[in-house]
Structure formats: structure tokens, C-alpha cells
Amino acid sequence: MNEYKQERMQNEIHHEIRTMIVDGKINDPRIYPHLTIMHVKISKDGSQAFVFVSSFDAGKQLSKAVEALNHAHGFIQAKISKKYRWKHTPRLFFKQSDALSKGSATIKTIENLSE
């Protein structure tokens, strides 16, 4: 898969999953609208997509949300496949990312140092 197509697919998957979360289209109470899709990385052969999810409240709530997203991967993948009609829609794997909580902690540390 060429880089342009890979990047375009990553952006479209990112957008669709984010929209589904915000609009509440995934009916699972563990998935809350404040989840952030940090990054989507598609494998070179296009068969897999790793979706990195983060939130300011990293911990058990985020772990449960990622678990719920992995449980709903078939539903999410089907919606994406139906919308874009790609020859092969990558299988989705959701991974937890602590980027937002770590960034928030770093900012708080810097603010405390400047006081």
C-alpha cells in the first residue's frame, strides 16, 4: 500500500471512529464522549489498523473503554466498510495511550515550578 493511500485511510478511520464516539453510536456505557483518538496506524499490507485511544482520566475507566472498543470492533469496522466501500477494510485493534494524562501531568509540574 502506498503512503498516500495509507495516510488517507488512517485519517478517514480516525474521523469515523471519533464521530461514532461523540455521537454515541456505540451503545456501551463504558465508552464515554471524552475519549480521544490519538493516532491510527495501518500496517503496511493494510490488513490491520491500530487505534490509540487516550483520555485525561487515564486509569481503570480508560482501560474499560478500550476493552469496550475492542469488543465493538466488528460493529465499528462494518460501519467504516459500509461508508467507504474499500476492497479490504483493516481489522481494528484498540490500544490504550497515556499521552494526554502524561502531558497534563507535565504541564502541572511546569506550572508548579513557575509559582
Three-state SS string over 35-71 comes to: CEEEEEEECCCCCEEEEEEECCCCCHHHHHHHHHHHH
What residues does 74 pair with on adjacent strands? none
Position 100 scores a pLDDT of 61
Q: How far is CA 6 from the centre of its chain?
A: 16
For residue 79, pLDDT beyond 80? yes
Of all residues in the chain, the percent with pLDDT exceeding 70 is 88
Average pLDDT in the chain: 88
Residues 4-28: tens digit of each pLDDT: 899 999 999 999 999 999 999 999 9
**DSSP code at position 88:** S
Give the mean model confidence (pLDDT) for residues 75-84.
Answer: 94
Position 60 scores a pLDDT of 83
